[in-house]
């Protein structure tokens, strides 16, 4: 372990500023989900906002709707014909410990993987929502813990951030699961199987299991609501009425068979919805799809809302927060969720906000140090043996563009911290004495400029026990500071250095 050289440390940090914007790791594959890159089907104009759901219309007819009494009956009797067998074996990352568990749930094709909120450990039964992300993939990856962009938050993370238990299921053919992609057919059975698994958990209230999804996930959720009444309420963002509006290059079924489309298109089966089901879409998204569905049924279990000035993605961040609060307040014997246009408008008008990321504990046993950092941050060794801790992605946001440098040193005497505080003050840092994990520490902050004239916020926290000193150096471009500061503080608050060493 080295002694600390003040001048060398400062020179290193200035050099780090110059290379920071290219220092982050390349994003790993998002697996079969690829939900971040999902684009909306062709947008269309809408003439309304809140739409009535008793327009006295009629759904399109087919031989299947005439032959069977319900979607469930038709679905169970139908055998899909796949034109090609597709699946994937993308690996599933371990979830943040204590927040989610990686489990297997039984289905008609075998055991399927899912992320499920960990047991709160309070002996109570809690509500849970099953959230189906967008995109055509059937797997799961670390997507739920990525940065929730305010204008395109497909993560569903607002649900568990609000304290609502959440399940992210994978489906047949995805992430090494048995079976093949069936493009909205067998996946409906998998959602029902996910419900059965959730209902079996001792800490979940089986009478308060909800379902939600976005885009393709919203269409899957709507089909599941037509199939079963098990869900207490269902929330569908951006669902389509007929899947011919989707990108048909994703269809694995025999597209020459008309019944294959009917079995995957919600508009034919809307009268079978018996759980409160909410259809939500932006006026610049799939709003014509929503309008056609509301015109096709007088089912009063279905409510629909078109949000003016919003698109297929921008409704998600504010309105999943509203959905979470509605679910948490729905505590009666019977479902009692209602949504008004005024509530939607208020939610859409709220200021953008970003919660703390999912955190995980890192331990350096050789120096007796532990600390928490964002789950998506990896530890890498720099050329001069310091540790660099930063996101595995490099998207344009505070979580992915912030970086932590970590180094250990041998204190040079009882006045080492004070000497270093004096040095930082001379270098223009705002410096103060604090306590971190019960140990004395120095906390210095400054805004530094790199060779290109860009300004970077830097925070330097140094603490010592009897034999070891540790420096935490946080760096982020000043444009990301508002979102990054709470993350930095959460890391500082989590630091534990063994005082006995």
| Rounded Cα gap, residues 488 and 260, in angstroms | 52
Helix (H, G, I), strand (E, B) or coil at 206: strand
> Which residue is associated with the tokens 């055991």?
111
CATH number of 6-24+356-497: 3.40.1000.10
| Rounded Cα gap, residues 187 and 174, in angstroms | 11
C-alpha separations of 430 from 283, 401, 499 in Å:
49, 23, 27
3-state secondary structure 416-439: HHHHHHHHHHHCCCEEEEEEECCE
Query: Cα 195 from chain centroid?
Result: 20
Pairing assessment for the beta strands 387-391 and 204-214 based on DSSP bridges? unpaired
Give the neighbor-by-neighbor strand order of the sheet with 126-132. 50-51, 302-307, 277-282, 234-237, 204-214, 126-132, 165-169, 110-117, 100-107
> Which residue is associated with the tokens 């006045």?
415
DSSP secondary structure letter of residue 493: H
Residues 80/64, Cβ–Cβ less than 8 Å: no
| Rounded Cα gap, residues 415 and 421, in angstroms | 10
For the chain, the helix, strand and coil percentages under 3-state DSSP, each to the nearest 5: 30, 25, 45
Q: Which two tokens stand for residue 397?
A: 């946001």
Neighbours of 119 (CB within 10 A): 15
Q: Which two tokens stand for residue 316?
A: 């998600």
pTM of structure:
0.89
Span(s) in the chain for CATH 3.40.50.1820: 48-349
Q: Mean pLDDT of residues grouped by 10 in the chain (501 residues)?
A: 50 46 33 41 38 52 93 98 97 96 98 98 98 95 96 97 98 98 98 98 98 97 98 98 86 96 97 98 96 96 97 98 98 95 96 95 94 96 90 96 95 88 95 95 95 95 93 97 97 92 59
Q: Closest Cα to residue 395, out of 487, 475, 491, 480?
A: 480
Q: Closest Cα to residue 219, out of 244, 196, 197, 199?
A: 244
| Rounded Cα gap, residues 360 and 356, in angstroms | 12
Residues 6+ apart with CB under 8 A from 401: 21, 24, 391, 394, 395, 476, 477, 480
| Rounded Cα gap, residues 12 and 281, in angstroms | 50
For 215: left if phi > 0, alpha if psi spans -120 to 50, otherwise beta; the answer is left
Query: Cα 393 from chain centroid?
Result: 14
| Rounded Cα gap, residues 184 and 227, in angstroms | 12
C-alpha separations of 100 from 165, 278, 316, 392 in Å:
9, 27, 22, 20
| Rounded Cα gap, residues 299 and 56, in angstroms | 9
At the top level of CATH, the class of 48-349 is alpha beta
Neighbours of 449 (CB within 10 A): 12
Per-residue confidence (pLDDT) for residue 134, from 0 to 100: 93
Helix (H, G, I), strand (E, B) or coil at 361: strand
| Rounded Cα gap, residues 192 and 189, in angstroms | 5
DSSP secondary structure letter of residue 271: G
Pairing assessment for the beta strands 234-237 and 277-282 based on DSSP bridges? parallel
Residues 159/328, Cβ–Cβ less than 8 Å: no
DSSP secondary structure letter of residue 8: H
Q: Which two tokens stand for residue 370?
A: 């532990």
Per-residue confidence (pLDDT) for residue 59, from 0 to 100: 75
Query: Cα 279 from chain centroid?
Result: 20
**Cα three-residue angle 302-308-312, rounded to 5 degrees:** 70
Residues 6+ apart with CB under 8 A from 324: 158, 159, 161, 162, 163, 164
Residues 184/269, Cβ–Cβ less than 8 Å: no
């Amino acid at each position: 372990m080295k002694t600390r050289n003040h001048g060398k440390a400062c020179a290193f940090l200035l050099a780090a500023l110059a290379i920071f914007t290219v220092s982050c790791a390349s994003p790993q594959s998002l697996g079969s989900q690829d939900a971040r890159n999902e684009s909306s089907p062709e947008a269309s104009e809408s003439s309304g906002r809140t739409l009535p759901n008793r327009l006295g219309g009629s759904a399109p007819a087919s031989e299947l709707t005439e032959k069977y009494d319900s979607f469930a009956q038709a679905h169970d009797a139908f055998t899909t014909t796949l034109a090609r067998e597709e699946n994937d074996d993308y690996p599933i990352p371990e979830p943040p410990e204590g927040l989610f568990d990686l489990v297997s749930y039984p289905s008609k094709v075998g055991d399927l993987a899912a992320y499920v909120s960990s047991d709160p450990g309070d002996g109570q039964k809690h509500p849970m929502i099953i959230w189906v992300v967008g995109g055509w993939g059937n797997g799961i990856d670390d997507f739920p813990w990525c940065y929730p962009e305010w204008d395109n938050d497909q993560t569903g993370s607002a649900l568990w951030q609000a304290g609502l238990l959440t399940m992210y299921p994978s489906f047949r053919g995805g992430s090494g699961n048995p079976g093949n992609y069936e493009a909205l057919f067998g996946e409906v059975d998998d959602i029902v199987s996910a419900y059965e698994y959730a209902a079996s958990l001792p800490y979940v209230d089986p009478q308060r299991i909800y379902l939600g999804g976005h885009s393709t996930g919203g269409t899957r959720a709507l089909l599941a609501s037509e199939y079963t009444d098990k869900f207490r309420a269902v929330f569908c963002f951006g669902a389509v009425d007929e899947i011919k509006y989707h990108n048909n290059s994703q269809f694995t079924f025999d597209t020459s068979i008309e019944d294959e489309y009917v079995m995957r298109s919600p508009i034919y089966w809307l009268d079978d919805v018996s759980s409160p089901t909410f259809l939500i879409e932006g006026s610049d998204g799939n709003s014509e799809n929503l309008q056609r569905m509301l015109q096709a049924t007088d089912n009063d279990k279905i409510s629909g809302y078109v949000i003016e000035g919003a698109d297929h993605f921008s409704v998600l961040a504010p309105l999943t927060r509203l959905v979470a609060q509605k679910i948490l307040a729905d505590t009666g014997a019977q479902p009692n969720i209602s949504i008004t246009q005024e509530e939607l408008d208020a939610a859409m008008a709220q200021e953008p906000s970003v919660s703390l990321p999912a955190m995980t504990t890192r331990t350096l046993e050789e120096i007796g140090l532990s600390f928490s950092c964002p789950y998506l941050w990896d530890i890498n060794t720099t050329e001069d043996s310091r540790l660099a801790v930063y996101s595995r992605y490099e998207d344009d946001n505070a979580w992915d563009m912030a970086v932590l440098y970590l180094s250990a040193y041998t204190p040079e005497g009882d006045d080492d911290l004070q000497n270093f505080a004096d040095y930082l003050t001379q270098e223009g840092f705002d410096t103060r004495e604090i306590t971190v994990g019960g140990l004395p520490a120095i906390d210095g902050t400054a805004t530094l400029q790199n060779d290109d004239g860009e300004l970077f916020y830097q925070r330097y926290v140094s603490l010592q026990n009897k034999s070891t000193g540790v420096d935490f150096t946080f760096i982020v471009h000043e444009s990301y500071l508002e979102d990054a500061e709470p993350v930095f503080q959460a890391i500082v608050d989590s630091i534990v250095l063994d005082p006995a060493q």
